[in-house]
Structures are given as structure tokens and as C-alpha cells.
């Protein structure tokens, strides 16, 4: 029997909304997003000086002396279906003795975006691209990030390559970092590639056109699986969240699509974690500072222990990543359909990551969730400013040049990037809520099953399951805490402010 919270797909979304208003969905959300950017101190537009600099850049960066020519390799990019700012390429090479060489190429953005330029100043202000349902606010102009500094299919590009040799058991045997000229043979998408990897779909057409690429990707996948297994044995957390993505039919908001983790995403995730680790240790070996990505011990470990106890699981009194990972794995096996809810609860209770300066000889706390000690962000310089900073440090370290930033500058940038990331995350979260409010605007009074995702003095938050949308619990929140299940009724939506209000049913 149907309930209000589990209507079939064709009854959800826009069916009861004013047809005239639907024609302005994209414009409405884009306008709200611009205001949200400004409210957070983020710049939605590029200043005139940056545009003037951009007008003088006509071609991608060319190779210079000392750059290796690796264009003959079977490089491929793997990203979202709609991604055009391609930062990474990967390729594998089988070696003797069961070893495998993995190469990760990262777009050389610094080659065109110079430090202290107007383009750089804008990137340093926002520090990240901001992705909202109706519009993207790129850190760098699209003419660069989706073209001249993007590792586009069938194009030669300069890149910074991280080379990693792994033993048959997945342990790192050797590594190096150097500049190279690369050529993307195939732009692949997560979903279609994962379907092929899992034997649930045909190979992507481009994959079939490049002889040997299918075999190469199988080798990459095998190494990625080994890396993931080793990290999880060390306590890396098997967290899986669902990110609702707005679906438009033209300019009409029609649904929210769940963007789930899959095998292709895992491949890229594991290689990027490995490359970021090698980058951190490389800079340390050259006695260079770095911006580390850290996640300290969970802020609310006691509540995580209580949450696990609700499943008759016992965790130690002190934060223990291996024990927490064991709990997560058992929950995934016991109830895979609800594992994303368990993951969301743990993420909320763990707190957020941050950027921290690691000076030469310094000690940083590492990343609790990834179970790695040495970790930076270096693999997305088109999208994140910390990665561009790291690229500049790397390029100086490779040739023995002087530091491109002072220690004081890096300290300030670490704090700013953390704050701006928080600002951008809040804009993106607000816009997901605005899109959700728009989608739910015709469903006032309906009831839904939900899970508590936040409980603090500032308010109690719940996420309904179908569609997967979060909102504030305005009435009936007494005694609830993160992870509790509850039945709620939708009582109010405000598209402009992204408010979705529920009452306990």
C-alpha cells in the first residue's frame, strides 16, 4: 500500500506545480545562487582585470625542456558525465614480479595561471569552484578550466605526473614526480564505466575504439581494489553517502537523482589518495612545506559509541578507526539498503576536514577517515586553490628553486582555504535545499520516514528517504539525537532561503 512518503517516480517532483513557474526553475535557482555566493563573501563573477588577462591567453601551455613525452601511453580520464574540467588522467603498466606502475597525470594549471596574476587573485579569493543545481561558479574561467588547462580528449597537454610502483600486495615500492606531455585517449564517465566493470552494461563506445584500453583499465581496477583493501585494514572508513543531484528537463526542475558511489569512482578515489600521499612525502623529502588535508579524531566519539550501541555493537571509549571501520562493514553487510544513512550519521558526528600547514620537519595529525598520515590536496588544480598552491610548491621542489610562498603566506592560505571551503559548502548545501524546496513545494502536509542528521542547540535536522531531502524539524524534536529514526510531516517550504520545515508526525 502506498504512503505519502513513497510515491512512485512519476508522481514526484513537478506534477502539481504551476506550469508557468516551472519554465523559470533554472533562472530562479541561478539567481538565488548568485545571492548566496555574495552573502558568503564569494565572488560569482570574474573581475575585469582577470578577463583582460584571459583575453591574452590563446593556446594551451607548450612543453619545455626536461618534460618527458608520454603521449604514447593509454591515458584516459574518468569523471562525471557532465564534467568538462578534467584534472586527472591515469594509466597502468604491468611490470615483472607482479609489480604494477600507476601513472597519474594532473593538469599543469600553473603553466597558464601565474602566481599573483589577476586570475590567481580571483582563484585565491574563492579558493574553489562552487557547484549549484542550476549554475556552476568556476574557480577559473571556463575558457581555461574546461579547455586550455583541461586534459581534454584527443588533446596534447602538459601535466605533472605522479609515478607509483606497487608490489603485488598493493604496497608502495617506489614513487617519483615529474613534468610530462600527455594525450587523453578517452574521456570516460563513472556510471557507464562502472556498469561495464561490474558486467552490468556494455563497454563505453570510446573504450572499444582504443586497442588495449579495456585491458589497461582492468589492471588499474585490480590495483585500486588492493589499495582500498589495505587502507580499510588500516582503518579507512567505508563511508557511502548519497548526494541528490538536480535533474532538469530543459529549464524545468523535474527530479532529484541519487549520485551513488561506484567501482569507477572508487578507482579514481584510491589513485588520488595514493597520489596525494606521494605528493606530501615528496615535498617533505625536499624539505618543502605543504598544505595537508587533515581530519582530526571525531568530535563526538562518545555519541558514535552510543549510535553503534543502538545496533548492539560495542566500540572502545577512545577514537579507534579500525574498530569503527569494522562496525561500518558489519552494518553494510547486515542492511546495505540503509547503509548510506549509517554513513551520514557517522560523517556528521566526525566533524569536518581542514587544511593545515606542515612546515619542514613538522608533524600533522593525518586524516582519521582515510587512515593516512601524509595527505595533501594536489589532484584538482582547476577546481581547488590548495591544489594549485601544491602544484607550485611541487614545481619549485622538482627543480630546486626557492619557495614560491612564505611560511606566513601558507599559514594564512590554509586558514582561508578552510574557511572558503566551508562557505562554498554552505552555498552548495543551501542551493540543494532550494532545489529540494522547489521540488517539494506542492507536497505540504504529506508525511515521510526520516533520520535525524543533526541535533544541537541551533536546531534539529532530519533527512527524509524518498526523495532524499534534508530539512529542519520545527516541532517534536525533544529527546532526539543524530541517527534516530522518526516520522515527520512537511509543514513549510521557502525556495529563496532553502528552508524545508518538518514537524514530528
pLDDT in tens, 451-484: 998 888 889 999 898 888 889 999 999 999 888 9
Closest CA to 482 of 268, 306, 282: 306
Report, as an integer, the average pLDDT of 86-95: 98
- Cis link prior to 467 (omega < 30° from 0)? yes
- Tell me if 331 sits within 8 A of 398, measured CB to CB: no
396: number of CA atoms within 13 Å, CB side?
Answer: 19
Domain assignment present for residue 9? The answer is no
Q: Kindly tell me if the per-residue pLDDT of 15 is higher than 50.
A: no
What pLDDT score was predicted for residue 11? 34
What pLDDT score was predicted for residue 340? 82
What pLDDT score was predicted for residue 23? 59
Domain assignment present for residue 334? The answer is no
Report, as an integer, the average pLDDT of 296-303: 87
Domain assignment present for residue 458? The answer is no
Domain assignment present for residue 418? The answer is yes
Q: What is the pLDDT confidence band of residue 16, given thresholds at 50, 70 and 90?
A: very low
What pLDDT score was predicted for residue 18? 54
Question: How far is the C-alpha of 234 from the C-alpha of 438, rounded, in Å?
Answer: 43
Residue 160's domain comprises: 18-296+353-437
Domain assignment present for residue 97? The answer is yes
Mark out the alpha helices in 40-114 (DSSP H runs).
Answer: 48-55
Q: Kindly tell me if the per-residue pLDDT of 270 is higher than 90.
A: yes
What pLDDT score was predicted for residue 6? 35
Q: How many domains does the chain have?
A: 1
Domain assignment present for residue 479? The answer is no
Pairwise pLDDT comparison (335 vs 129), residue with the higher score: 129
Question: How far is the C-alpha of 14 from the C-alpha of 429, rounded, in Å?
Answer: 21
Pairwise pLDDT comparison (81 vs 13), residue with the higher score: 81
Looking at 47-61, 233-247, 263-277, which range is the least confident one?
Answer: 233-247
What pLDDT score was predicted for residue 296? 85
pTM: 0.88
Q: What is the pLDDT confidence band of residue 239, given thresholds at 50, 70 and 90?
A: confident
Domain assignment present for residue 61? The answer is yes
What pLDDT score was predicted for residue 228? 93
What pLDDT score was predicted for residue 54? 98
What pLDDT score was predicted for residue 466? 80
Q: In Å, what is the CA distance from 57 to each residue of 53, 148, 371?
A: 7, 9, 42
**What percent helix, strand, coil does the chain show, rounded to 5?**
40, 25, 35
- Tell me if 352 sits within 8 A of 426, measured CB to CB: no
For residue 226, give the 3-state DSSP assignment.
Answer: helix
> Mind giving me the DSSP string for 132-180?
-SS-EE-SS-HHIIIIITS--BT-EEEEEEEEEEE-TTS-EEEEEEEEE
Domain assignment present for residue 36? The answer is yes
What pLDDT score was predicted for residue 453? 86
Percent of the chain with pLDDT over 70: 95
Counting beta carbons within 10 angstroms of the beta carbon of residue 309, is it exposed (0 to 12), middle (13 to 18) or buried (19 or more)?
exposed
- Helices 118-126 and 48-55: crossing angle, nearest 10°? 130
Q: Kindly tell me if the per-residue pLDDT of 72 is higher than 90.
A: yes
- Tell me if 321 sits within 8 A of 235, measured CB to CB: yes
CB atoms within 10 A of CB 265: 18
- The mean pLDDT value of the chain amounts to 91
pLDDT digits (tens, 9 = 90+) for 129-175: 999 999 999 999 999 999 999 999 999 999 999 999 999 999 999 99
pLDDT digits (tens, 9 = 90+) for 91-126: 999 999 999 999 999 999 999 999 999 999 999 999
What pLDDT score was predicted for residue 401? 95
Amino acid at each position: 500500500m502506498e504512503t505519502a512518503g513513497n510515491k512512485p517516480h512519476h508522481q514526484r517532483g513537478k506534477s502539481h506545480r504551476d506550469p508557468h513557474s516551472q519554465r523559470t526553475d533554472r533562472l530562479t535557482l541561478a539567481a538565488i545562487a548568485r545571492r548566496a555566493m555574495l552573502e558568503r563573501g564569494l565572488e560569482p563573477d570574474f573581475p575585469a582585470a582577470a578577463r583582460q588577462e584571459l583575453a591574452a591567453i590563446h593556446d594551451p601551455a607548450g612543453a619545455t625542456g626536461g618534460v618527458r613525452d608520454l603521449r604514447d601511453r593509454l591515458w584516459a580520464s574518468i569523471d562525471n558525465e557532465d564534467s568538462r574540467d578534467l584534472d586527472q588522467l591515469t594509466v597502468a603498466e604491468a611490470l615483472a614480479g607482479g609489480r604494477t606502475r600507476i601513472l597519474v597525470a594532473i593538469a599543469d594549471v600553473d603553466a597558464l595561471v601565474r602566481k599573483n596574476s589577476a586570475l590567481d587573485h580571483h582563484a585565491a579569493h574563492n579558493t574553489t569552484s562552487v557547484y549549484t543545481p542550476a549554475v556552476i561558479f568556476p574557480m577559473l574561467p571556463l575558457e581555461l578550466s574546461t579547455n586550455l588547462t583541461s586534459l581534454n580528449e584527443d588533446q596534447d597537454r602538459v601535466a605533472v605526473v605522479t609515478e607509483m610502483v606497487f608490489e603485488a600486495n598493493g604496497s608502495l615500492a617506489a614513487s617519483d614526480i615529474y613534468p610530462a606531455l600527455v594525450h587523453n585517449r578517452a574521456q570516460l564517465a563513472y556510471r557507464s564505466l562502472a556498469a561495464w566493470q561490474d558486467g552490468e552494461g556494455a563497454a563505453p563506445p570510446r573504450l572499444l575504439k582504443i586497442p588495449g584500453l579495456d585491458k589497461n583499465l582492468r589492471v588499474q581496477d585490480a590495483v585500486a581494489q588492493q589499495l582500498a583493501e589495505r587502507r580499510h585494514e588500516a582503518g579507512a572508513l567505508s563511508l557511502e553517502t548519497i548526494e541528490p543531484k538536480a535533474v532538469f528537463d530543459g529549464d524545468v526542475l523535474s527530479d532529484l537523482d541519487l549520485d551513488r558511489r561506484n567501482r569507477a569512482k572508487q578507482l579514481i578515489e584510491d589513485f588520488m589518495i595514493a597520489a596525494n600521499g606521494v605528493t606530501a612525502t615528496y615535498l617533505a623529502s625536499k624539505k618543502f612545506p605543504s598544505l595537508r588535508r587533515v581530519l582530526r579524531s571525531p568530535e563526538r566519539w562518545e555519541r558514535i559509541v552510543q549510535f553503534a550501541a543502538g545496533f548492539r555493537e560495542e566500540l572502545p571509549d577512545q577514537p579507534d578507526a579500525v574498530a569503527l571501520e569494522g562496525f561500518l562493514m558489519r552494518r553494510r553487510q547486515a542492511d546495505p539498503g540503509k547503509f548510506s544513512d549509517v554513513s551520514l550519521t557517522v560523517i556528521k558526528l566526525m566533524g569536518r576536514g581542514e587544511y593545515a600547514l606542515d612546515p619542514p620537519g613538522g608533524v600533522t595529525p593525518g586524516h582519521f577517515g582515510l587512515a593516512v598520515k601524509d595527505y595533501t590536496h594536489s589532484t584538482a588544480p582547476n577546481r581547488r586553490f590548495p591544489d594549485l598552491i601544491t602544484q607550485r610548491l611541487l614545481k619549485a621542489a622538482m627543480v630546486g628553486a626557492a619557495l614560491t610562498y612564505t611560511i606566513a603566506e601558507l599559514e594564512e592560505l590554509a586558514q582561508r582555504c578552510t574557511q572558503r571551503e566551508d562557505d562554498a559548502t554552505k552555498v552548495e548545501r543551501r542551493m540543494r535545499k532550494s532545489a529540494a524546496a522547489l521540488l517539494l513545494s506542492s507536497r505540504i502536509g504529506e508525511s515521510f520516514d526520516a533520520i535525524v542528521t543533526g541535533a544541537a542547540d541551533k536546531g534539529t535536522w532530519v533527512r527524509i528517504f524518498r526523495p532524499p531531502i534534508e530539512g529542519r524539524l520545527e516541532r517534536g524534536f525533544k529527546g532526539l539525537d543524530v541517527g534516530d529514526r522518526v516520522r515527520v510531516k512537511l509543514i513549510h517550504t521557502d525556495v529563496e532561503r532553502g528552508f524545508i520545515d518538518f514537524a514530528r508526525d
